[in-house]
């Protein structure tokens, strides 16, 4: 399973998404100096999107034997991550004055990049495999 680079990319993306369940999204500093931290899992919408992203990452990594399927699921996971990143960006722009945001707000973007790199490598592997099969088939026809 871990013999191909795309599986490593998908594993890293899944680890990044899994880490988001425990990371803080932002910190609000009150007028009296009290700090309130906001965790991703506190918002139901964030939590549901993170669960969907994690399931897509695991499904893409688990489909390592079917290259086309792995590429498609990795693209879907990447699109989910980009959608989540856009949503986070809108929330950041809305609440820019009162909050201090954590670097983990960029994790979906990193996961999306890893997903698209994995999808590309899966497609390259599939095309290489098809070319080898085609070449073998043509050689057999010529020998007969």
Q: Which of 64, 71, 68 is nearest to 1 (CA)?
A: 64
User: Taking a C-beta distance cutoff of 8 angstroms, is the pair 18, 58 a contact?
Assistant: no
Domain at 10, CATH number: 1.20.140
Percentage of residues in the chain having pLDDT higher than 70: 97
- For the chain, state the CA radius of gyration: 20
Q: How many domains does the chain have?
A: 1
> pLDDT value at position 2?
55
Q: How many CB atoms lie within 10 A of CB 70?
A: 27
Domain range for 85: 5-143
What pTM was estimated for this model as a whole?
A: 0.83
Per-residue pLDDT reduced to its tens digit, 41-78: 888 989 999 999 999 999 998 887 888 888 999 999 99
Structure-derived torsion over alpha carbons of residues 111, 117, 122, 126, reported in degrees to the nearest 10:
160
**In this predicted model, which residue has the larger pLDDT, 37 or 52?**
52
pLDDT at 25: 86
């Amino acid at each position: 399973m871990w013999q191909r680079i795309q599986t490593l990319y998908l594993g890293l993306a899944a680890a990044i998404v899994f880490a988001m369940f425990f990371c803080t999204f932002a910190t609000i500093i009150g007028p009296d100096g009290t700090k309130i931290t906001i965790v991703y899992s506190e918002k139901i919408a964030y939590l549901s999107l993170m669960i969907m992203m994690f399931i897509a990452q695991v499904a893409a990594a688990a489909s390592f034997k079917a290259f086309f399927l792995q590429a498609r699921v990795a693209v879907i996971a990447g699109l989910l991550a980009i959608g989540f990143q856009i949503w986070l960006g809108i929330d950041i722009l809305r609440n820019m004055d009162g909050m201090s945001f954590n670097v983990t707000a960029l994790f979906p973007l990193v996961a999306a990049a890893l997903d698209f790199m994995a999808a590309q490598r899966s497609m390259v592997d599939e095309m290489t495999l098809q070319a080898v099969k085609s070449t073998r088939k043509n050689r057999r026809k010529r020998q007969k």
